[in-house]
Structure formats: structure tokens, C-alpha cells
Amino acid sequence: MRRRGCRQDYKKPRHLPAEPVPGMKAEPDGSNARYFHVVIAGPQDSSSEGGTFKLQLFLPEEYPVAAREVCFMAKIYHPNVDKLGRICLDISKDKWSPALQIRTVLLWSQALLSAPNPDDPLANDKPEQWKTSKAQATETARARTWLHAINM
């Protein structure tokens, strides 16, 4: 199942670096070389610890000049992830550089799970709770992890 908002119409082949990313697995799709299946383990000591998160990674035709697109497939309670699973990262906006490797993008996506940033939200319904009651927001995120990202 593909989420709305994530592109899926790529044709040129691209490959992930041979060096594995700790806590992550990324494999190219058999029918579309610009589309990758990614699995990220929730980082220790975070509200997503113990979770296994499936993501989609797409490389636009203009890649590496244009930033890649990453979407969470599992529901996640996070101020930097919207209800469609799209991720808000500095490196996907004004700080993108063609020098950034896919490995770096995956590491930043994993780090986002440990460090929610309510001051740069993508999900308008969540940043206030992260700012006013971080403990409650963390518990909600942990509950969502257990509900949607355990045993995936």
C-alpha cells in the first residue's frame, strides 16, 4: 500500500550504498529502482523504542540535485511527521545538498524519532502538546508505537 503524498513514478535506476546503516534495512523495489523499502528500528531511550517502522524512500528524477522523499508507512505521533507520513527535515528543505548521501538521509530520519522538534512542525495538531506537556506527548507517542509499530 502506498501513501498519498509520496511519489512513485520513477524510472532511472539508483542504488543504496553498500555500507549498512545500523538499526536500518533498505532494499530497492523489484519493479521500480527509484523506490526503496526501508525499515527503521525505534532508537533506544525514545518514545519509539521497540518499534519497527516501515518507510518508503523515493529518489526524484533530479536526484541528487533535488532532495529525496521519505514517508512513514506506520501511524506515528510526532510533530515532524504529518498524517500522510511525510517527514519534515532540514535536509529535505533549505539544507539539502547533492553531497548528502542516502545513508545520511536515513540516519537523519532515524534520529528524528529520538528528537521531535515542535518548533519546526509538519503536523499542526501535535506541536502544542510537545511544547506544553512533553511527558504526555511522549506517552502518546509510545502508545502509538506499541499500537502501530510493534511486530510489523
Q: How many CA atoms lie within 13 A of 56 on its CB side?
A: 22
Whole-number CA gyration radius for the chain: 15
Residue type, position 118, single letter: P
Q: Which of 24, 33, 39, 88 is catalytic?
A: 88
User: H-helix or E-strand containing 24?
Assistant: strand 24-28
Nearest to 39 by CA among 29, 24, 28: 24
* CA 106 to each of CA 17, 89, 126, 133, 134: distance values in angstroms, whole numbers, following the listed order: 11, 11, 23, 28, 25
Check if 71 is active-site: no
Residue numbers annotated as active site: 88
